[in-house]
Chain A
Amino acid sequence: MYGKGILKGLGVTIKRYIDTYVDDIRWMGKRYYKSEGIAHRSSKDARGIFTVQYPEEKLPVPEEFRFIPFLVYDVGENGEQTLRCTSCGICSKVCPPQCIWITRTTNPATGRPIPDPAEFYIDSDICMNCGLCAEYCPFDAIKMDHDYELASYGRNILNKQKLAKSASYYESIRPFNSAKENQARSAKIAARASAGEKTE
């Protein structure tokens, strides 16, 4: 019969249409605006309506996700914020479009450099979100952020103040990686302490 192919195709479309109602009824009430509903719609068993309704439902972002970088600061006992960055310059050397500008501070008395950046600019209109700066920083000082809601009415150049975010924020967005790094750092400090004891 001429037209059988088109009818077979229409059968596929009708099956999907009925699936949208069937899936809604099966999940009655729990399918929308709940995180398990969102997880079901992103899994291999997803059928029916596939939409994740931004801005009321946000698709959760995985840990490795990379957007614009940010600088990590540790909070001391009196609440003072110290940036981990020592202005070694590796991130600006490895950045492919060269969008990081760093000015190193010099001690005015001795003229020697101090490991602290005087200025730190990232032009987010050039940044290509590659993550190489975060991958090769030896001090865990610059990491990739998860915040993607950055639309604005003007151009965006981020300076040191806008880039600084706390270490607890970093641990909340990347728990697995930050736990591994903290472990490595404390192991290194313990090894140096025991080596120091042996020489004494």
Chain B
Amino acid sequence: MTTPTPVEILDLSSIFPNFVTKDNRPGYSGWILDKKYLLEFATKLRDEYGYDLLTSVTGVDYYPDDRMEVVYHAFKTIGGPVVNFKVQLPRQDPIEVPSLVSIYPGVELQEREIWDLFGIVFTGHPDLRRILMWEGFSGHPLRKDWKEAYFEEESKPFKSRWPEGKLIHAEDNNKFSDNISYPKEFDPEKWVPEGEAALYGALAKYEHTSSDGIKSDNIVINLGPQHPSTHGVFRVTVVLDGESIVNLKPVMGYLHRNHEKIGERNTFLQNMPYTDRLDYLSSLSNNFGYALAVEKLMNIAVPERAEYIRVIMAELTRISNHCMALGALFNDLGTFFTPLIYLLEERELILDIFEAVTGSRMMCNYFRFGGVARDLPEGTYEKIKGLVFERLPRKIDEIDRFMSDNEIIRSRAVGQGILTAEDAIRYSATGPLLRASGVPYDIRKADPYGIYDRFDFDIAVRQNGDIYDRYLVRLEELRQSVRIIQQAIKGLPGGEIQTGKTQYQVRVPAGESYGRVESPKGELGFYVISTGKPSPWRYHVRAPSFINLTPYGYMCKGQKIADIVAILGSIDIVLGEVDR
């Protein structure tokens, strides 16, 4: 068991006395900057102080105060706590902030999202277009004064359900009997659709002359949103020169389910079932992240037995997710369904355990603030023991024998889609994508949460950063997860499973918190701001699949079109998380 390298906590207001002040609001932490010095500050933070991984950028609207904020979280790849800095802006259009894309290229997609949902303009961004909604949509939805078409009340529970609950559907209250509202100036007969002009305009900047000096045209092809791969509704627009890729732009937002806006209307407990549906293949780690973020605000401890059960469930989720991810990757590499079916057998046995303990195969809704919801029923302990000690090690070796030496897989995966270590850190990649490129950054070791510091396990790292290495990293993580569960289940103590009484009205004191876990896809973070009311003021999800897509275009330049599907499979995305 290694302890993480101790990292000293910087006092930034003494290092930069002119433009950095400490954030002294009750319950808040971090530093407030003046936006004119943002670029200088960020360059110094990265080069002199070593904070090279900027994981999260998000916006907050403080209506009716005349203020909007952009909040940044930065980490060091050798481990340690966060540096959290904010820029405050007056709330009058146009709201402008300098873009950090030249220093940390990983913020590119996140800044586009803040423009889309809040209307904050990032000057210097190479391609500032809407990302989750379509071009031409009216308004910026996450602003506090923008109401959706089915708006009833600011926060739940709604008065129309009890005690006089007349069954009136939301459609009946809307004049179009659907979830639609148009701005006042809209005239359907005079309006002209602008279509995809912005997207194709952004792609058209790349001219290409072939090597013998003949100028040739490039083709633009759309792959998706409906396509035979199992990754979901995801669209990729590629510019091709023959079969090689010149440029590639992902288009997302086809599954944007307004998780953050609904999260602001829900109470804290009501948000827990919604977090299941973010990364729907590994719902228990989403629950874990959200429970950590709110427990930090509430400042409550979790009993021992609940901590052990949490670790067992989180690692079982990791195994079940990697089974699906490896199966989908082999599907993309051309083995039509056979390894996927073999791996889904193991996943089905794990889902049986989830169904017996939590009640549902996929949407588990099992964690509560201060523990877990139910205790393990009869027979589950023996089932988990049997799986982990006898069946899973044998099956992981079988998959290794089945696929690792296969000549076709090796020729398609070795040396393709390379991402070097420096590029991976600059593009804010986390999870198996980062570890396959040679950076041993795992939050369970770098910044341990729960009781992970008591278990003995290794970090899976490979050096080359190609598709084959990402497969090997996930296979190794399967073995390490089995090792952790073996230790946890041997040491499972008795006792209670939740501190305090179960109650549905949770009192969360005011403040902000950023809770993060090592989900199977990368770093999953929840940024929650509470004002003491039953519902959160701002609720943001730092989604690993979304941010791991930032280097996708960069990894695919020069590859053939058959490879981009394999590279997408090795990044391992889930659309519920990408679009939220």
Contact = CB atoms under 8 A, between A and B. Distances in A.
Interface in A9-45: 9, 11-13, 16, 42-45
Contacts of B504: 90, 93-94, 132, 136
A12 B398 contact: yes
Contacts of B359: 64-66, 131, 144
A4 to B, nearest CB: 7
A103 interface: yes
Interface stretch (B14-22, B161-169, B421-429, B445-453): B161-169
A155 B113 CA distance: 36
A154 to B, nearest CB: 15
Nearest to A10: B402
Interface string B255-293: 000000000001001111110000000000000000000
Given A121-B167, A157-B167, A98 B158 contact: yes
B390 A44 contact: yes
Contacts, number: 141
Interface residues of B, number: 55
B356 A44 contact: no
A63 B391 CA distance: 25
B331 interface: no
Among B338, B406, B408, B409, chain A packs the most CB atoms within 10 A around the CB of B406
A102 B391 contact: no
Contacts of A135: 373, 502
Contacts of B401: 8-9, 11-12
Interface string A68-109: 000000000000000000010110111110101111100000
Contact of B161 (A12, A44, A61, A100): A100
A66 B504 CA distance: 19
Interface string B397-411: 010011111111110
A13 B161 CA distance: 57
A50 interface: yes
Q: Which of A64, A104, A176 has most B Cβ within 10 Å?
A: A64
B163 A98 contact: no
Contacts of A6: 406-408
Given A96-B270, A104-B163, A128-B273, A64 B407 contact: no
Given A9-B401, A98-B158, A62 B165 contact: no
Contacts of A55: none
Interface in B141-168: 156-158, 160-167
Contacts of A63: 356, 377
Nearest to A96: B270
B383 interface: yes
A45 B386 CA distance: 9
B363 interface: yes
A5 interface: yes
Contacts of A3: 407
Contacts of B166: 101, 103
A61 B266 CA distance: 31
A5 to B, nearest CB: 3
B356 A103 contact: no
A139 to B, nearest CB: 15
A9 B270 CA distance: 47
A119 interface: yes
Which of B272, B403, B407 gathers the greatest number of chain A CB atoms within 10 Å?
A: B407
Contact of B365 (A13, A90, A130): A130
B96 interface: no
B410 A44 contact: no
B387 interface: yes
B349 interface: yes
Contact of B410 (A5, A8, A42): A5
B352 A9 contact: no
B355 interface: yes
Contact of A103 (B163, B349, B403, B410): B163
A16 B274 CA distance: 40
A133 to B, nearest CB: 10
A43 to B, nearest CB: 8
B157 A9 contact: no
B54 interface: no
Nearest to B353: A62
A129 B407 contact: no
Contacts of A93: 156-157, 161-162, 504
A176 B377 contact: yes
B374 interface: yes
A157 B158 CA distance: 19
Interface of B: 156-158, 160-167, 169, 266, 269-274, 338, 342, 345, 348-349, 352, 355-360, 363, 365, 373-374, 377-378, 383, 386-387, 390-391, 398, 401-410, 502, 504
Closest 8 CB pairs of A and B: A5-B405, A101-B165, A89-B162, A130-B273, A93-B157, A96-B270, A44-B386, A104-B163
22 contacts: A6-B406, A8-B402, A9-B403, A9-B406, A13-B402, A44-B390, A45-B391, A89-B162, A96-B266, A96-B271, A98-B156, A100-B162, A102-B161, A102-B163, A119-B165, A130-B273, A130-B365, A131-B365, A132-B273, A135-B502, A136-B504, A176-B378
Given A44-B386, A128-B363, 10 more contacts: A3-B407, A50-B348, A64-B355, A64-B377, A65-B359, A87-B163, A93-B161, A96-B266, A100-B161, A131-B365
